[in-house]
Chains A and B, each alone.
Chain A
Amino acid sequence: MRTRILLVAVAAMLLVPVSLWAHHAFAAEFDSTKPVKLRGTVTKMDWINPHAWIHIEVKATDGKVTKWMIEAAAPNAMLRRGFNQDSLPIGTEILVEGFQAKDGANRANGSSITYPDGKKLFIGSQGTGAPVEQ
């Protein structure tokens, strides 16, 4: 399984107008006052356009299990950086950092995803802010 993925495409962001972030007005979707840090196991990977989704189950200290959906990039963009449909098999334990949906549902944008051995899948790039769809 390939886990070497990179993750800061600052130059790409400089060269591509933020208005091209067609599907998203991130600041309107995710709540910057609700950062989440979730340790869970992968139950499903939706390898679909326009965005892949990683489904995880998070077990609290009292044993209660909650389900979360973590948003990722488009499949071809992920492939280009070495990630594929098999990179996160069911049962893989990951640590997710991101921000929760504004409506309080268990959905988050996956800014950072880390394997148990510390290898990172996604890292929030510096200074991206929250491009607003225009």
Chain B
Amino acid sequence: MRHRFLMLVLTASAIAALSLMALPVAAQAPRPATATTATKAWTPPKTSWGDPDLQGIYTSDDYIGLGMNRAAQYGNRLYFTDEEMAARERTIQATAQRNAQEFVTPGGNVGTGPPGHWGEGARRSPRQTSLITEPENGQTPALTEEGRLRQALYTRQGAGTANPEDSWEGYTYYIRCISRGIAGSIIPVIYGNGTEIVQGPGYITLLQEMVHEARVIPIDGSPHVGSNIKTYMGDSRGHWEGNTLVIETKNILGNKTGIGGNGGGTPFSEDAKFTERLTRIDKDTIQYSMRVEDPRTYTAPFTFAFPIRQEPGYQNFEYACHEGNNGMMNQLSGARAAEKAAAEAAKQK
């Protein structure tokens, strides 16, 4: 009985996945985001000292799995149609129903891989068809020649330029518990997508769940630090444009982090500039965007955007990187153990 149920789940999952892949190319005109509509009707609260109040714990989980670049079938269309949204919602609901049940897999194929339930997933369908909102085609601009060189030199894990198990230096700054960088800290990944916002007069703090970097950002009109002071997250200064918080960041360390998952991918140059915009558009939602200007790395500026949402029960739990993430240690020690075994085997010959 339980086995049959599993087969049903597998079949339903495959059908759902295929139906998503087969979403119509849709000739309907793009619809404005629900978020945009809400902006007009809702007045955000103010802090006791008069700033727009953005405080709370938000998550970008609903945009998990949505690509940075837009799938070709959507062309220049930024938003899903209502029909496409409905199809995605049905898949999400079906997944949630399966996740609420308990059953046993007789003779299940238990492997060394992570169980499927380890990851987080969207609770609502994203409205956008890609994270990239500028340029209009939804594609990350091409790399410059220097960008391609930097990609070859510095991209860890995925470039295939080195065996990461040779040294801890073969792993990303994220895996090494150092930093995900300014863009990698906010782009949705498979879990740990919480952002806690705390405000005080003249300052705002963004605390990320993953890696737990806290950006304490002056919004008091003070100037950036000198150009010779560079950090993984750069120097950020904020100001208000109406109800929108605008944060400008520069002075990052070059050749460290990029827009790939968790700050991976082609790293930015030290001359990169970032402009973030945060607008609270309803009680639970902030519309977030980041514009990247790095002419040494990309042939044009680009912007990625998505909403972050508060939801009941979501918390930023402790991020104990070295205690909770044994991934790098396991890989390095496993490789050393294999080398030792191989050396001993060679001696026996």
* A residues lining the B interface (CB < 8 Å): 4-17, 19-32, 35, 46-53, 71-77, 79-82, 97-99, 101-105, 107, 109, 111-112, 119-120, 122-131, 133-134
Task: Return A107 CB to nearest CB of chain B, in Å.
Answer: 7
Q: A23-B325, A75-B317 are in contact. Are A9 and B117 (CB under 8 A)?
A: yes
Q: Is the CB of B117 within 8 A of A8?
A: yes
* B residues lining the A interface (CB < 8 Å): 6, 9-10, 12-14, 16-17, 20, 64-65, 91, 94-95, 98-105, 108-121, 157-158, 164-165, 174-175, 189-192, 194, 209-210, 261-262, 313-315, 317-321, 323-327, 330-331, 333-338
A contact residues around B13 at 8 Å (CB): 10-11, 14
Q: Is the CB of A6 within 8 A of B190?
A: no
Specify the chain B residue showing the minimal Cβ separation from A49.
B319
- How far, in whole Å, are A10 and B330 apart by their CA atoms in the complex? 26
Q: Is the CB of A8 within 8 A of B105?
A: yes
Q: Is the CB of A53 within 8 A of B324?
A: yes
Q: Is the CB of A32 within 8 A of B111?
A: yes
Q: Is the CB of A12 within 8 A of B95?
A: yes
Chosen A-B contacts, 10 in total, with CB atoms closer than 8 Å, are: A8-B117, A20-B190, A21-B119, A30-B112, A49-B192, A49-B320, A72-B118, A97-B110, A120-B104, A125-B115
Specify the chain A residue showing the minimal Cβ separation from B99.
A6
- How far, in whole Å, are A106 and B343 apart by their CA atoms in the complex? 23
Task: Return B165 CB to nearest CB of chain A, in Å.
Answer: 6
Task: Return B193 CB to nearest CB of chain A, in Å.
Answer: 9
Q: Is the CB of B112 within 8 A of A7?
A: no
- How far, in whole Å, are A25 and B95 apart by their CA atoms in the complex? 25
- How far, in whole Å, are A98 and B117 apart by their CA atoms in the complex? 15
Besides A9-B99, A28-B335, A76-B314, 10 other A-B contacts (C-beta < 8 A): A10-B9, A11-B95, A20-B190, A21-B190, A22-B189, A25-B331, A103-B334, A120-B104, A124-B110, A129-B113
Q: Is the CB of B327 within 8 A of A74?
A: no
Task: Return A12 CB to nearest CB of chain B, in Å.
Answer: 5
Task: Return A9 CB to nearest CB of chain B, in Å.
Answer: 4
Specify the chain A residue showing the minimal Cβ separation from B88.
A15
- How far, in whole Å, are A101 and B336 apart by their CA atoms in the complex? 12
- How far, in whole Å, are A17 and B261 apart by their CA atoms in the complex? 11
Q: Which of A31, A47, A50, A130 has the most CB of B within 10 A?
A: A50
Q: Is the CB of A8 within 8 A of B335?
A: no
